[in-house]
Every structure is written in structure tokens, then in C-alpha cells.
């Protein structure tokens, strides 16, 4: 068999394997309707910058369930001459959510220590009516810095 014939035979064999149905795999796959209801969509708002920190708020939406969380990180590399690692900072956090045109869903206030690594601040899970929009707000403050809330609006598509 020459080289071209071997390549053609290999390609034909690969095509036959890919075209063959795999019943066990097909049975294990959820239906399109089940995939649509179980899909989680993550949406994050724009980052906010304040005194060297970058903050943002995110929401994971699955059906009518919305998981809210905020993130705190460094806004960029340290300035030359800045001691490294920086001293830990105790921050006051507030994460709140409401249905647009409706009422408040939740508000979580807390304390978080931030030093260098990105910190996730969990706000819990809320349930909103299908077809509504959830507005979430996340703010961080310290003794020497006031809050500068960041927001995100997420549709609840069931």
C-alpha cells in the first residue's frame, strides 16, 4: 500500500468511527429542555476603582435562583517604593439586591480582611420572579475611604 492509500484508509476509518452512534453516550445526555433550565449564566458589572482597590459585583442566575457575590482585588501593580506585601486592611462590605420595580430581596453587611489576593464576598442566594430583573449593589469602605458602590442588573429568565 502506498502512502496516499494509507492516508485515505485512515481518514475513511476515522470518519466511520465519528459517524457511528454511541447509544450509551446519547442516553446519558440530558434533553435540550433540561439543559436550558439547568444552565447557569454568570454576569458581572463594571469594575469600580477606589484607593488602590478594584471592586465588582457578580450574579449567577439559574432559573429563578440568583447567587450574588462581590469581589475585591488590587487595582494594579504597586507603586515603586511601596512596601510589599501591603498591610492587611479591614473593610466593611455591603451587598444588596432588589427586584427592579419591586421590593428588596436581601442585604448583607460584613467585614472582610484584604491584603493581596482577590477576595470573594458572598451575598447568598435569592429567588426572583421569572421575567424580572435583579439589581445588585456592592460597596466597600474603610476608615479612610467611603463607599463607592458598583452595580449589576441581571435578567431572571426561567
CA dihedral 5, 6, 7, 9 (to 10 degrees): 80
Q: Which domain holds residue 150?
A: 40-155
68 lies in the same domain as 103: yes
Beta carbons of 150 and 48 less than 8 angstroms apart: yes
The pLDDT score that the predictor gives to residue 110 is: 92
Lowest mean pLDDT among 12-26, 107-121, 124-138: 12-26
Residues 62 and 84 reside in one and the same domain: yes
The answer on 132 and 97 residing in a single domain is yes
Ranges 35-39, 105-109, 118-122, 135-139: which has the least confidence: 35-39
- Region 28-40 average pLDDT: 55
> What is d(CA 17, CA 5) in angstroms, rounded to the nearest whole number?
18
| Residue 148 belongs to domain with CATH number | 2.60.40.2550
Q: Which residue has the higher pLDDT, 155 or 14?
A: 155
> Whole-model pTM above 0.75?
no
- Residue 143: CB atoms within 10 Å: 9
Q: Is the pLDDT at 51 greater than 70, yes or no? A: no
* Number of domains making up the chain: 2
pLDDT band per the 50, 70, 90 thresholds, residue 2? low
* pLDDT tens readout for residues 72-130: 998 888 888 888 888 888 999 999 999 998 888 889 999 999 988 899 999 989 999 99
Amino acid at each position: 500500500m502506498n502512502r496516499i492509500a494509507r492516508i485515505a484508509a485512515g481518514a475513511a476509518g476515522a470518519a466511520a468511527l465519528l459517524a457511528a452512534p454511541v447509544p450509551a453516550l446519547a442516553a446519558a445526555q440530558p434533553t435540550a429542555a433540561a439543559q436550558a433550565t439547568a444552565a447557569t449564566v454568570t454576569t458581572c458589572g463594571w469594575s469600580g476603582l477606589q484607593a488602590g482597590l478594584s471592586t465588582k459585583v457578580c450574579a449567577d442566575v439559574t432559573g429563578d435562583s440568583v447567587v450574588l457575590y462581590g469581589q475585591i482585588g488590587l487595582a494594579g501593580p504597586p507603586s515603586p517604593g511601596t512596601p510589599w506585601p501591603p498591610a492587611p486592611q479591614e473593610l466593611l462590605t455591603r451587598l444588596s439586591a432588589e427586584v427592579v420595580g419591586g421590593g428588596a430581596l436581601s442585604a448583607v453587611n460584613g467585614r472582610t480582611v484584604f491584603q493581596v489576593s482577590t477576595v470573594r464576598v458572598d451575598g447568598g442566594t435569592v429567588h426572583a420572579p421569572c421575567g424580572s430583573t435583579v439589581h445588585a449593589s456592592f460597596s466597600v469602605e474603610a476608615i479612610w475611604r467611603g463607599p463607592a458602590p458598583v452595580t449589576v442588573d441581571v435578567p431572571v429568565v426561567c
